[in-house]
Amino acid sequence: MSADRPEESDRELRSFGRRRGRKPSARQAGLFGSLYPMLRIGADNAVDVVRPMLEDGTALWLEIGFGGGEHLVWQAAHHHGVTLIGCEPFEDGVVKVLSAIESQRLGNIRLLADDVRPLLRALPPSSVARAFVLFPDPWPKRKHVKRRLVATPLLDLLARVMKPGAELRLATDIGDYARTMLIALMRHEAFRWTAERPADWRERPADWPETRYEQKARREGRRGYFLRFTRTE
């Protein structure tokens, strides 16, 4: 199995870890070879894939770095009128979502097994109604902080593709990352924090299913931070 490797991402600092874990089973490799090409959305075909959805009035949601896919699949299963784009460079996670799509017969997911940034440059302006960046790679070492995905360059790309009033949801279990997320977002004129009380960022909303990364953090004694912003008018 091989992932897309756009030229744009090759010129940017890598914001994610490994691409592959265990060797895929024959069935998993078959799904990646047959089903993934049918669902793939990338910089080269983004406009052709998205334009009919926008013309039909279909809401488009985007999850960046969906990990094992629990959140992506849950949202797709509970919002049949929405099309979700899931981007994840780690192929094990992509295969898990492909398996769920096949077993649950989900027809409202599109996938990219690579860096999201070239896709964000290619999507039509004001096309995304909701975006998620949940528990991204924390890059905890000081020398690696510059690789953290949620920073001004990503927010600039999101601001272009998100509709006015669209919601941006972020989560992390790393306190320092939550701080740098908030600093970047509070300084960005395109986003407004919706929190009115501590529970708004300390407690995960009911329509925000728990991921395996959150479960791991809880087991290891780390709290989650759940941030919601809206794209300004």
Domain edges within the chain: 7-231
pLDDT per residue rounded down to tens, the chain (233 residues): 544 444 444 456 554 455 565 677 777 778 888 999 999 999 999 999 999 999 999 999 999 999 999 999 999 999 999 999 999 998 889 999 999 999 999 999 999 999 999 999 999 999 999 999 999 988 677 666 787 999 999 999 999 999 999 999 999 999 999 999 999 999 999 999 999 999 999 999 999 998 888 888 889 999 999 999 999 98
Nearest CA to 43 out of 123, 111, 113, 110 is that of 123
> In angstroms, rounded to a whole number, what is the distance separating the alpha carbons of residues 92 and 23?
9
CATH superfamily of 7-231: Vaccinia Virus protein VP39 (3.40.50.150)
The catalytically annotated residue of 114, 115, 137, 173 is: 137
Closest CA to 117 of 97, 133, 141, 101: 133
How far apart, in whole angstroms, are the C-alpha atoms of residue 24 and residue 91? 9
How is residue 128 annotated by DSSP?
E
Burial class (CB in 10 A: 0-12, 13-18, 19+), 148: buried
Instruction: Return the pLDDT at 8.
Output: 43
Does residue 200 contact residue 165 with C-beta atoms inside 8 Å? no
- Quote the DSSP letter at residue 44: T
Nearest in space to 111 (alpha carbons), one of 73, 147, 74, 81: 73
44 included as an active-site residue: no
β-pairing, 162-172 vs 225-231, is antiparallel
Strand partners, 226: 171
pLDDT of residue 12: 62
pLDDT tens string 70-102: 999 999 999 999 999 999 998 889 999 999 999
Looking only at the bridges linking them, the beta strands covering 225-231 and 191-193 are: antiparallel
CB atoms inside a 10 Å sphere around CB 56: 8
Predicted local distance difference test score (pLDDT) of residue 14: 52
- Please report, in angstroms and rounded to a whole number, the separation of the first and last CA atoms in the chain: 42
Model pLDDT, residue 19: 54
- Listed in sequence order, the residues at least 6 apart from 38 whose beta carbon sits closer than 8 Å to its beta carbon are none
